[in-house]
Chain A
Amino acid sequence: GAVVSQHPSWVICKSGTSVKIECRSLDFQATTMFWYRQFPKQSLMLMATSNEGSKATYEQGVEKDKFLINHASLTLSTLTVTSAHPEDSSFYICSASSRVVNTEAFFGQGTRLTVV
């Protein structure tokens, strides 16, 4: 299957700093990437949908100024958590697809963010 690489796999940062997470599709062109957040013992919650070359579409309740998403190329999307706070500590996962409707969604390995 297709490969989606997410980096870093884990990061610890100080409160008030910003953290950037990268999501790359390694062997296909991802026209759409999705960013999810998962708190302990909870399911994945969609944060935003990112289409190459256009602004991301954020889900209700997700602050677009806090979670900056850039999808500048067909193989790379980034999520920047700005002015991180301890409540932002979570597992962030991206998925990528090459078309609107898929028969398999490919996920990155996830990034464990801890804000201290």
Chain B
Amino acid sequence: GQNIDQPTEMTATEGAIVQINCTYQTSGFNGLFWYQQHAGEAPTFLSYNVLDGLEEKGRFSSFLSRSKGYSYLLLKELQMKDSASYLCAVQGNTGKLIFGQGTTLQVKP
């Protein structure tokens, strides 16, 4: 079976750092994606990891440990506009993405 878990909700303060975790158990693995989605809009690509380690891209970083079935998305210097849902998705052998339930992040002043 396939299972992707991430926290449902998180709250953080403007200017702070927040880490959103994602654990997965899938039958095939060809990379892990993180997406940002604002209400009523399509997901926006943030990052892709296929090898173990940390990928940094501006204020956002993503980490992957394949042996542990674990990833996290790190958001630094939080801004109010970062309030959104963050989706973790695993790509299987056929290319299709299986999404976690998403983490709704609320950034407070």
Contacts and interface: CB of A to CB of B under 8 A. Distances in A.
Interface string B78-109: 00000000010101001111111110100000
A105 B94 contact: no
Given A101-B30, A101-B31, A103-B48, A44 B43 contact: yes
Interface in A22-57: 32, 34, 36, 41-46, 49
A93 interface: yes
A44 to B, nearest CB: 5
A100 B41 CA distance: 25
A88 to B, nearest CB: 18
A97 interface: yes
Interface residues of A, number: 29
A102 B95 contact: yes
Interface residues of B, number: 23
Interface of B: 30-31, 33, 40-43, 45, 48, 50, 87, 89, 91, 94-102, 104
Nearest to B104: A41
Contacts of A104: 33, 45, 48
Contact of A110 (B33, B41, B48, B102): B41
A75 interface: no
Given A43-B102, A44-B87, A49 B43 contact: no
A77 interface: no
A103 B50 CA distance: 9
Given A1-B45, A107-B42, A100 B87 contact: no
Contacts of A112: 40
Contacts of A106: 45
Given A102-B95, A103-B31, A105-B33, A43 B42 contact: no
